[in-house]
Amino acid sequence: MNQEKIGKFIAECRKENGYTQASLAEKLGITDRAVSKWETGKSMPDASIMLELCELLKINANELLTGEHIIMDNYKEIAEQNLVEMRTQEEKANKKLMKAERFLTILTIVASLALIISGALIAEHNPTIGIILCSLGSLIVFLGIAYAVKMEHDVGYYECPECKTRYVPSMRAVVLAIHYGSTRKMRCPHCNKKGYHKKVMTK
Ligand SMILES: [Zn+2]
């Protein structure tokens, strides 16, 4: 601990916060002589008033003992801010993908139903074209649903209702799972319990 550096730092923070040695001393219930001793590095503030002093100087105990503003604290704040922003962006992007997936599913069902129904109607007069239309319709259903399931698997995470673990399941688990909407009955990789796992957009 560099007492001189700490002393200079105390003086600097005191001035920044608009205190004189006397007014700071009064706030702390000590003599201005004591404040002067800290600032010249002759003594250190007692542990008993350190927290109060830090509060008045708007610094933390760590900074007081280091004798400088610690930028690492900002780093942490900024890092947290960035994390929140990243999550929001991921959530937005994932929500868009989920919407696209739902749209695709509906479009697939409508298009293939149209093909199958018209195929069935035409089959009476022209069996070959009827069969082709019906097969095409079935193929589109199959491909569309496979693609939608893959998209659902790739976007976001599933959350276990028991232990709240958020995870990406295997493609096989997603395909085989009973589901309603995007909630699927699966086994949790963390607590190993089976349950209905909800789709969530962020980890
Ligand atoms: Zn679990």
Distance 142 CA to ligand 1 centre (A): 31
Distance 166 CA to ligand 1 centre (A): 8
pTM of this structure:
0.51
Distance 154 CA to ligand 1 centre (A): 20
Q: What is the pLDDT of residue 47?
A: 80
Asked if residue 64 lies in contact with residue 53, where contact means CB atoms within 8 angstroms, the answer is yes
Full set of structural domains in the chain with CATH:
3-69 (1.10.260.40), 86-200 (no CATH)
Could you say which residues of the chain have pLDDT below 70? 72-75, 78-79
Q: What is the pLDDT of residue 39?
A: 96
Distance 84 CA to ligand 1 centre (A): 25
- Match 């095409």 to its residue by tokens: 136
Q: What is the pLDDT of residue 73?
A: 60
Distance 190 CA to ligand 1 centre (A): 5
